[in-house]
């Protein structure tokens, strides 16, 4: 449900939709060439064969990334959420922590 709401938010906001389209084209171009590359400076993690290496990041760094999700690619945020899930965080817990930090 959260993925659907996020997709709706992106589709309804012109700036986010344009950013998504640019990032999607870059992603498709990178994955079709099969090359290794680096995530943008805001992502800060190495990407190798489609996998982000996030295990060296602290929980706090990952949660800050989630709180500022609009600044990152969707692929990167998905990887961050997967890493947090491995660390036994639920989406509800992540959401509560982010809301507390914003206040």
pLDDT value at position 88?
93
Q: What is the pLDDT of residue 49?
A: 47
Buried b / exposed e along 55-89 (16+ C-beta atoms within 10 A): eebeeeebbebbeeeeebbbbbbebbbebbeeeeb
Q: Where are the domains of the chain?
A: 2-102
Task: Give the pLDDT score at 35.
Answer: 39
* Per-residue pLDDT of the chain in tens (103 residues, 90 and over written 9): 888 888 888 888 888 888 888 887 777 776 665 434 444 444 455 555 456 777 778 889 888 888 888 888 888 888 889 889 999 999 999 989 988 876 6
Q: For position 6, what pLDDT does the model report?
A: 83
Give the predicted TM-score (pTM) of the model. Answer: 0.52
Strand-pairing partners, residue 38, are 46
């Amino acid at each position: 449900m959260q993925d659907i709401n996020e997709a709706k938010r992106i589709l309804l906001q012109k700036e986010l939709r344009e950013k998504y389209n640019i990032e999607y084209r870059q992603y498709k171009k990178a994955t079709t060439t099969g090359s290794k590359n680096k995530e943008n400076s805001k992502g800060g993690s190495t990407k190798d064969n489609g996998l982000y290496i996030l295990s060296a990041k602290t929980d706090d760094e990952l949660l800050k990334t989630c709180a500022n999700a609009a600044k990152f690619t969707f692929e990167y945020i998905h990887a961050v959420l997967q890493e947090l899930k491995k660390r036994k965080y639920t989406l509800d817990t992540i959401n509560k922590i982010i809301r507390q930090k914003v206040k």
